[in-house]
A and B are shown apart, each in its own frame.
Chain A
Amino acid sequence: MTETFQSWGMSYEWAWGLATISGILLIALPLMLAVAMIIYVDRKVWAAINLRRGPNVVGPFGLLQSFADGLKVFLQETIIPSAANKGIFILAPIVTFTVALAAWAVVPFSSTAVLADINVGLLYILAISSLSVYGIVMAGWASNSKYPFFSAMRAAAQMISYEVAIGFILICVVLFAGTYNLNDIVRAQEGFGFGLINAYVIHPLLFPMWVMFFISSLAETQRVPFDLTEAESELVAGYQTEYSSMSFALFWLGEYANILLMCVLNAILFFGGWLPPLNIDLIPWFDIPGIVWLLLKTFFFFFMFSWVMATVPRYRYDQLMRLGWKVFLPISLGFVVVISGYLMATGHYGAAA
């Protein structure tokens, strides 16, 4: 994009700056729209599984429900509790929202459509997702109220625990791909399964890792069955209890942007990202742009997220901790050893040593 702007007679710095800003807008604005629609999808799927109709009043099929909610929230008054720590109280939803958007910088939508094609893309995502706990912890503490505080404590422990397991799972993928660059990870999956299937997940050693990654991403984004931070039967609304108006909406947007990010990561790391599912040119689907495949896969994973939300009861907190530390951590650590052994034995890294 920089070259295009330069060809219009701008200096390199200006062209670069303008290209970056328009790239950010090109990702962030559709993402906000996607979040609004995905909330609608979430409610519809949930309602269908519960044999209800879900939102069906605002607009055709209720499609505009999220925008109506957004408008309502926008017009409300922002209430700041007098006992709250004002600066941090206001900062917390902003941090959540910003961090949720920042991670999208390295997501490859197709082989060329990526804002920052950096070498350590996967590490960047890990780093940014480890920041998302701060918004919640700051909100919980700054509210100066019991329920948000409990919620913040739970969130901190929960997110740190599952990040450890996610780290090891990502290492398994990196061992197979030999790179941290997300685009190269996708390329490494081309024809991975017998030259036919473009996905890591069909490998018997990586399939269990994907199952664990999916469950860990539920826990990392605090979705049901791991939504203990906002368990309404125990903690009112958790860390959001004292929030109203736009600050509340920012939490929601950030939360769903994080969920979408985890869905995209599932697609990129284990299901071939922007590659078509099969590596054969039976129908001309290599002509379909990569972004369509990526979005279809993402939507599939989001459907799974909603499906889990409608069908699985909430975990108890000690069970959640046990699953993270005593089940996922040892298994994923074992798989790192097994997978590196397997790759050495099959000569994957034979020449390099």
Chain B
Amino acid sequence: MIQVFAFYLFAALTVLSAVLVITARNPVHSVLWLILAFFNAAGLMVLVGAEFIAALLVIVYVGAVAVLFLFVVMMLNIDFAELRTGFVKNFPLGIAIALVLLAELVLGIGAYQVGVMELGSASGTAAPIMGRSNVENIGAVLYRDYLFLFEAAGLILLVAMVGAIVLTHRQRPDGARGHQDIGKQVRRRPEDATVMTQPAVGEGIEL
């Protein structure tokens, strides 16, 4: 009873907030609706018993990715009028993409109705190990059955990260503006920076 109620609550809120992501006029509002959609999707994951995936969804998407979205959208001063120009020009392209997505959706549902696909290890058994927690099952699949694919995905991400750092990092030469020598700052002691003097009345001090 309570599960059914929770399912319809989460599902309705997911769909509603997903619609509002598109229709909201203010991009910051859009991102906030998107976060609500993620959050309710995580609730649906909990309902089907995938609590690990739900936690990851919240940690990765809500906790990190969406914060960066929000960060960027808030920083950019977006001109709404300019965004809406070109609607007619881009309309055919948008329709084409929407049709492709719709076709994929229909194909996916059709394939699902035909039968279950045998995803799994080389030996062909992909049945979840019953009686073990989510975390253990996913760990077994990632680190035993698909170890090489998983590591390859990790390597690709590492290369992408190195690339991003190489593109944005610039070495500031010594003495240039903004150059900092952290070791020097940490080593600095009060004796190096301050002097105690007792000048006579009416005299200044030479610095």
Identify the A interface with B (CB < 8 A).
13, 16-17, 85, 88, 118-120, 123-124, 126-128, 130-131, 133-134, 137-138, 141, 149, 152-153, 156-157, 160, 163, 180, 318, 322
Contact = CB atoms under 8 A, between A and B. Distances in A.
Contact of A123 (B59, B62, B64, B74): B59
Interface residues of B, number: 27
Contacts of B182: 322
Given A88-B32, A131-B62, A152 B55 contact: no
B67 A133 contact: yes
A141 B63 contact: no
B96 interface: no
B35 A134 contact: yes
B15 interface: no
A200 to B, nearest CB: 20
A156 B71 contact: yes
A318 B74 contact: no
Contacts of B134: 119-120
B35 A126 contact: no
Contacts of A180: 135
A120 B55 contact: yes
Q: Is the interface of A mostly helix, strand, loop or mixed?
A: helix
Contacts of B59: 123, 126-127, 130
Nearest to A163: B63
Given A13-B1, A137-B74, A322-B182, A120 B52 contact: yes
Contact of B2 (A13, A88, A128): A13
A137 B63 contact: no
B127 interface: no
A18 to B, nearest CB: 13
Nearest to A132: B63
Interface in B50-106: 51-52, 55-56, 58-59, 62-64, 67-68, 70-71, 74-75
Given A137-B74, A152-B74, A130 B55 contact: no
A153 B63 CA distance: 15
A178 B180 CA distance: 42
B67 A137 contact: yes
Given A119-B134, A131-B62, A153-B75, A141 B28 contact: yes
Closest 5 CB pairs of A and B: A130-B63, A123-B55, A127-B58, A127-B59, A119-B133
